[in-house]
Amino acid sequence: MKLIIAIVQDEDAGRLVGALMEKGYGVTKLATTGGFLRAGNTTLLLGVEDEKLSTALGHIEKICKSRRQFVNSNMTSLDPAMGMGLPSNIEIMVGGATVFVLDVQQFQKY
């Protein structure tokens, strides 16, 4: 069994959870905050059988979009000293999804 930890944009979270639930995956949705933008994002926890891993990752890849975002560098966690000389508005590409896959040693429901 694997544990998928997927950090996705709020805009994609509802659709992704809907699609995963419809396919019978167990999903936990956490409201989280990105360290760089200090803005809300969504972290999903999914425990999946090994043979369903690639299908689950396929749903995440299909639904989560990359988005261009313009941010004021003063609003990020960038050290202001490092930003010297940089334009205050910077363009970054966020997403589609940041995904970690971990081996699950034990799975119990009590």
**Interacting residue ranges for ligand 2BA, rule: CB under 6 A:** 7, 34-37, 41, 92-95, 98
| 43 φ, ψ (degrees, to nearest 5) | -115, 125
User: Least separation, in Å, of the C-beta of 106 and ligand 2BA?
Assistant: 24
Under a CB-based contact definition with an 8 Å cutoff, are residues 15 and 63 in contact? Answer: yes
User: Least separation, in Å, of the C-beta of 45 and ligand 2BA?
Assistant: 14
Under a CB-based contact definition with an 8 Å cutoff, are residues 26 and 45 in contact? Answer: no
Instruction: Pick the closer one to ligand 2BA by CB: 23 or 65.
Output: 65
User: Least separation, in Å, of the C-beta of 3 and ligand 2BA?
Assistant: 15
What pairs with residue 90 in β-bridges? 71
